[in-house]
A and B are shown apart, each in its own frame.
Chain A
């Protein structure tokens, strides 16, 4: 079966499986709304995949995937000698352009590669994801989230260095990079087998990730925001509108929409952090107590479901979902930079988890913690669980984006409206970024060509509608599972290829020290 045939058959098989599942689960159809039917089918189809990824370690309730991410980030941190601390200042120098040759002006700068990658990661993970983490795992989840962010910097460094080193440069000057390329070329260079196989598996998971976390989760939460403003209405309506706009950009090539989004999103990010800072400054007397709750909750759980293990799991899960360290998506985004030294992009990329998780996620968590939206028992000081006992009870019984929104509203009553706009824009920007990542994986599998590319883009738009119509539970489970599945394959490859990164790093640092690498500003 050639690649193009496979491209046409794969979605058909998927559609067939959905149809079968729909027949099994949708009865009686007249009793269910379209949203419920979509939700049921979706949950049934994705259930086994989700269960596999989140299977607990034998005899515990600890998902093996969380351990996988923590161990990898710790190994990279040690292997590269705390690069996230030692290389932090040099990363800033590189982003400022201190080492950029003026003769290369006009090429993609380090700043542009960083902000492009950030626009794919900063968004709902920082707003909704943190609220989910704090809602289920309590403020203590924030501690583990920050730790995961700090460790994740080393993982990001590793994958982005490789992304640039092994990208494909085509005769017309365009580039394509990402884990699938370093798996294929890097393994061959080291004489290791299995690189091509891993690249194919990664690409499949990357496509699922782009349809899940990069698409459905975004559409779902954008719909929740719009519903919060205009009242309840079916999700598929939001889905179709969103799908139409996404279609116009990725298929219709209406770049002006994407450009406007790319320019507005950073300002939304600044506005979000600014508002959080103001709320924190106004309530400065509670910041100490909030950090106290974060540290205490990290090790005791403060009565949340699952105790401190629950806090840890939530913290690491949501951090990984937010900053995508180890997932491999950043390696695709960063590989477009024009540099003679792949390590420089590794340095730059380590700022990403720092900005995304250590700074922005922490802001969200602090605002939620000090806002009083999480209900505590005045006598014991412990959190009160909701009726189902699955998460902390909140004022107004809210979760996800609505929890963050309610927390910010305690500082600025008008902020939920700004947040709603921000969420919609963030969601849209993340969708555009992930449509690109998914497309790169798709074209790696099925080859480049207008028909195959169009097919992926249409599938992507269909998933926007499904994501907006399905309920949060199944969507968030599938999104996490797909993104973590990418991390399983990607991190396996990083272990094999990390000696190459170290060689590059040592050589670069030596030349930097000797002055062979010129500083221009």
Chain B
């Protein structure tokens, strides 16, 4: 059974570093499957208008399709082109919670993320998704600088 490594992308250039590190790790481990995950930040407790609700299912599909085509599929292609076994997933929710849930559901041995892009004021007061991930993940987390 292959070792599953989960790569969390945040849609910025920093994700490339996570992909690069995952490749190195997978080469060292050998029998590996790379799972590329992108989380669309979303809260079930936000407030929406009736019109937004009516359109939500359609929008969700569009968001997933856009995330797959712009972020996840190119990364999966890069990995498969390089000879790795890889697949992609898009999830909605809190970034840290969603990565942890996906890692648990898929039986991932490790989560690899690049240091995520938020910083400054937001990071100081809200804490970053990376910090939340490191603090609560049930599997080892590698944060690529």
Bound CA–CA A172/B51 (angstroms): 15
A69-111 interface bits toward B, Cβ cutoff 8 Å, 1 = contact, 0 = none: 0000000000000000000000000000100101001111111
Which residue on chain A has the smallest CB distance to residue B44?
Answer: A109
Bound CA–CA A107/B61 (angstroms): 10
Which residue on chain A has the smallest CB distance to residue B91?
Answer: A105
B50-90 interface bits toward A, Cβ cutoff 8 Å, 1 = contact, 0 = none: 11111111101101100000000000000000000000000
Q: Which of A120, A173, A259 gathers the greatest number of chain B CB atoms within 10 Å? A: A173
Q: Which of A97, A107, A176 gathers the greatest number of chain B CB atoms within 10 Å? A: A107
A44-61 contacts to B (CB < 8 Å): none
Q: A106-B40, A116-B49, A433-B50 are in contact. Are A336 and B101 (CB under 8 A)?
A: no
Q: Decide if A258 is an interface residue (CB 8 Å cutoff).
A: yes
Q: Decide if A380 is an interface residue (CB 8 Å cutoff).
A: no
Residues of chain B within 8 A of A108, CB atoms compared: 48, 53, 56-57
Q: A105-B91, A105-B93, A105-B98 are in contact. Are A112 and B44 (CB under 8 A)?
A: yes
Q: Which of B45, B46, B47, B63 gathers the greatest number of chain A CB atoms within 10 Å? A: B47
Residues of chain B within 8 A of A112, CB atoms compared: 44-48, 53
Bound CA–CA A242/B50 (angstroms): 20
Interface size on B, residues (CB 8 A): 26
Q: Which of A102, A115, A258 gathers the greatest number of chain B CB atoms within 10 Å? A: A102
Provide 9 A-B residue pairs closer than 8 Å at the C-beta atoms, listed in order of the A residue: A102-B93, A105-B92, A106-B93, A112-B46, A116-B48, A174-B58, A255-B49, A255-B52, A336-B54
Bound CA–CA A176/B61 (angstroms): 18
- Taking the closest CB of chain B, its distance from the CB of A513, in whole angstroms, is 25
Residues of chain A within 8 A of B91, CB atoms compared: 105
Q: Decide if A436 is an interface residue (CB 8 Å cutoff).
A: yes
B97-128 contacts to A (CB < 8 Å): 98, 101
Residues of chain B within 8 A of A120, CB atoms compared: 50
Residues of chain B within 8 A of A172, CB atoms compared: 58
Query: Do B56 and A432 touch across chains, with their CB atoms under 8 A apart?
Result: no
Interface size on A, residues (CB 8 A): 37
- Taking the closest CB of chain B, its distance from the CB of A441, in whole angstroms, is 13
Query: Do B45 and A259 touch across chains, with their CB atoms under 8 A apart?
Result: no
Query: Do A107 and B56 touch across chains, with their CB atoms under 8 A apart?
Result: yes
Bound CA–CA A176/B57 (angstroms): 12
Bound CA–CA A455/B68 (angstroms): 39
Query: Do A266 and B47 touch across chains, with their CB atoms under 8 A apart?
Result: yes
Query: Do A436 and B47 touch across chains, with their CB atoms under 8 A apart?
Result: no
Report whether over half of chain B's contact residues are helix, strand or loop; otherwise say mixed: helix
Partner of A105, one of B42, B50, B58: B42
Q: A105-B91, A105-B98 are in contact. Are A336 and B47 (CB under 8 A)?
A: no
Residues of chain B within 8 A of A433, CB atoms compared: 49-50
A323-339 interface bits toward B, Cβ cutoff 8 Å, 1 = contact, 0 = none: 00000000011001110
A323-363 contacts to B (CB < 8 Å): 332-333, 336-338
Bound CA–CA A337/B44 (angstroms): 11
Partner of A116, one of B42, B53, B60: B53
Query: Do B63 and A262 touch across chains, with their CB atoms under 8 A apart?
Result: no
Q: A105-B44, A106-B40, A106-B92 are in contact. Are A258 and B49 (CB under 8 A)?
A: yes
Complex A-B, nearest 3 residue pairs according to Cβ-Cβ distance, in ascending order: A106-B92, A109-B44, A173-B58
Bound CA–CA A143/B98 (angstroms): 47
Q: Decide if A314 is an interface residue (CB 8 Å cutoff).
A: no
Q: A108-B56, A173-B57 are in contact. Are A436 and B50 (CB under 8 A)?
A: yes
Residues of chain B within 8 A of A97, CB atoms compared: 44
Query: Do B47 and A113 touch across chains, with their CB atoms under 8 A apart?
Result: no
Bound CA–CA A266/B47 (angstroms): 8
Q: A105-B98, A263-B47 are in contact. Are A174 and B42 (CB under 8 A)?
A: no
Bound CA–CA A108/B98 (angstroms): 17
Residues of chain A within 8 A of B57, CB atoms compared: 107-108, 173-175, 338
Q: Decide if A119 is an interface residue (CB 8 Å cutoff).
A: yes
Query: Do A262 and B93 touch across chains, with their CB atoms under 8 A apart?
Result: no
Query: Do A262 and B54 touch across chains, with their CB atoms under 8 A apart?
Result: no
Query: Do A106 and B42 touch across chains, with their CB atoms under 8 A apart?
Result: yes
Query: Do B51 and A436 touch across chains, with their CB atoms under 8 A apart?
Result: yes
Which residue on chain B has the smallest CB distance to residue A119?
Answer: B47
Query: Do B48 and A338 touch across chains, with their CB atoms under 8 A apart?
Result: no
Which residue on chain A has the smallest CB distance to residue B39?
Answer: A105
Bound CA–CA A333/B51 (angstroms): 9
Residues of chain B within 8 A of A336, CB atoms compared: 50, 53-54, 56
Residues of chain A within 8 A of B48, CB atoms compared: 108, 112, 115-116, 262
A409-437 interface bits toward B, Cβ cutoff 8 Å, 1 = contact, 0 = none: 00000000000000000000000110011
Bound CA–CA A266/B58 (angstroms): 26
Bound CA–CA A333/B55 (angstroms): 13
Q: Which of B49, B53, B63, B93 gathers the greatest number of chain A CB atoms within 10 Å? A: B53
- Taking the closest CB of chain B, its distance from the CB of A161, in whole angstroms, is 17
Query: Do A338 and B101 touch across chains, with their CB atoms under 8 A apart?
Result: no
- Taking the closest CB of chain A, its distance from the CB of B85, in whole angstroms, is 23
- Taking the closest CB of chain A, its distance from the CB of B138, in whole angstroms, is 16
Which residue on chain B has the smallest CB distance to residue A97?
Answer: B44
Query: Do B92 and A113 touch across chains, with their CB atoms under 8 A apart?
Result: no
Residues of chain B within 8 A of A262, CB atoms compared: 47-49
Which residue on chain A has the smallest CB distance to residue B92?
Answer: A106
Bound CA–CA A437/B54 (angstroms): 12
Residues of chain B within 8 A of A338, CB atoms compared: 56-57
Q: A106-B42, A108-B56 are in contact. Are A259 and B98 (CB under 8 A)?
A: no
Which residue on chain B has the smallest CB distance to residue A337?
Answer: B53
- Taking the closest CB of chain A, its distance from the CB of B106, in whole angstroms, is 13
Bound CA–CA A337/B46 (angstroms): 14
Given contacts A116-B48, A255-B49, A265-B47, 14 further A-B contacts (CB under 8 A): A108-B53, A109-B44, A112-B47, A112-B53, A115-B48, A120-B50, A174-B54, A255-B52, A258-B49, A262-B47, A266-B47, A336-B56, A436-B51, A437-B50
A102-136 interface bits toward B, Cβ cutoff 8 Å, 1 = contact, 0 = none: 10011111111101100110000000000000000
